[in-house]
Amino acid sequence: MKPNTVHWTKDDKEKITQMALGLGADQVSFLALKDYVSPASPDPRRYLPRLQSFVIMLFRELRGAYMDQSYMRMQGLKLPDTAWENTSYRVGKFIEDTYHVEAHAMPQHRPFEVTPETWKRIIGPVSIRHLAVQSGLAIMGRNTLAVHPKYGSFGRYGVLLTTAMVDSDPPLTDFDPCSNCKYPCVENCPVNAITEDGKVLQNRCTAYSQPYDVGNFYRFAMKMNKMNADEREELIKTPHFFNLYMAGMGIMFYRCIECTRGCVASEMLPEYSDDIPIMKNATNLSEPFGWDLSIYDQGKWDPAKLEEGYAEKKEEEAS
């Protein structure tokens, strides 16, 4: 069948944008394939042979999730992924049904193809950061992330591939928040994973920031391989093993947000961004039992805690 040739007009782009916004996206942009530049990425026509354009959507994260030091933070951080999955499907159907072209959604994070080129250094099907920057949604920040004029580094982006032709939206101009930013996003990295020339040393970053990612699972398995039966049984009966199991079910855990938490480009957190707590509630392979971690580190819930003078009363009782 001969493919349908469609070139979206401004009105077409507006219809698609309004539908996406109505489904939960915060902003939408468009980029022609010819304007996409990402030297480390594969040819995106691997995933849609007649690809002509990209539809990029922004979903802001919930700022309250960043105030949570526990694993529960991930529920708030993965909601944009869930919103993207629903929105991309419905917008993709609208595009195919209305314009009789093809649409295909790319994942925001996972899955990604594991090949000899990617199993040590993750390379996604498309570079979502570059697409967001080149289509005018963001600029590339010093922290190597896409930085949005309103949401700073607290945004997630999704991408639809389409076979419709489109005129690219222009990149941002007169927006350079990093030039006078005083937050040391690069210097604050606890493992020096961000280089001065704008690269991320993935093995350093993920080993620290994702204690239950595939690399740390690999280290866990290698350690078990060198143990006897009794030692393996003891290691399996630890919080760390169960956390690895949850990660295997797709429930990832990011404990480090030092490169984003003080991003002054964001209008979301100007009043208390520096007070966002650093994650502490995580186990690791060197201390897999983690018995010092507790969901009761602030005690058990008691409505009396809301009463004035409760803390002072408890201190008197303890003394």
Task: Spell out where the chain has E strands.
Answer: 27-32, 53-60, 103-106, 139-140, 146-147, 155-162
Measure the CA–CA gap between 234 and 261, rounded to whole angstroms. 37
Helix (H, G, I), strand (E, B) or coil at 210: coil
Q: Quick one: average pLDDT of 262-285?
A: 66
Residue 283 lies in a domain: no
Does residue 158 lie in a domain region? yes
**Which pLDDT score, from 0 to 100, does residue 237 have?**
93
245 in any annotated domain? no
Residue type at position 207: A
Q: What is the DSSP letter of 277?
A: P
Domain assignment present for 247:
no
Token pair for residue 301?
């819930």
Q: How far apart are CA 319 and CA 316, in angstroms?
A: 5
Q: Measured in whole angstroms, how far is the alpha carbon of residue 22 from the centre of its chain?
A: 22
Short-list 169, 115, 147, CA closest to 267: 147
- The interaxial angle of helices 10-22 and 73-99, nearest 10 deg, is 140
Asked if the structure places residue 253 within a domain, the reply is no
Q: Is residue 259 predicted with pLDDT exceeding 90? A: no
| Alpha carbon distances (Å) from 240 to 23, 170, 219, 289 | 38, 47, 12, 6
3-state helix, strand, coil in the chain (%, to 5): 35, 15, 50
Lowest mean pLDDT among 80-89, 215-224, 287-296: 287-296
Q: Tell me which H or E stretch contains 159.
A: strand 155-162
Query: Minimum mean pLDDT among 28-42, 195-209, 225-239: which range?
Result: 195-209
Residue 281 in domain:
no
Is residue 131 pLDDT above 50, yes or no?
yes
Q: Determine how β-strand 146-147 pairs with β-strand 139-140.
A: antiparallel
State how far the alpha carbon of 293 is from the alpha carbons of 62, 239, 259, 279, 281, in Å: 25, 10, 25, 12, 6
Banded model confidence at residue 161, pLDDT cuts 50, 70, 90 = very high
Q: Which of 99-113, 146-160, 258-272 has the lowest mean pLDDT?
A: 258-272
| Mean pLDDT, all residues of the chain | 88
In tens, the pLDDT along 135-147 reads 999 999 999 999 9
68: pLDDT strictly greater than 60: yes
Q: How many domains does the chain have?
A: 1
Q: How far apart are CA 16 and CA 18, in angstroms?
A: 6
Could you tell me the residue range of the domain that residue 126 belongs to?
A: 10-166
pLDDT at residue 315, as a whole number: 74
Residue of 68, 263, 29, 277 whose CA lies nearest to 167: 29
Q: Is residue 65 part of a domain?
A: yes
Residue 38 included in any domain? yes
**pLDDT-wise least confident of 142-146, 245-249, 258-262:** 258-262
Residue indicated by tokens 């060198």: 226
Query: What tokens were used for 317?
Result: 């009782």
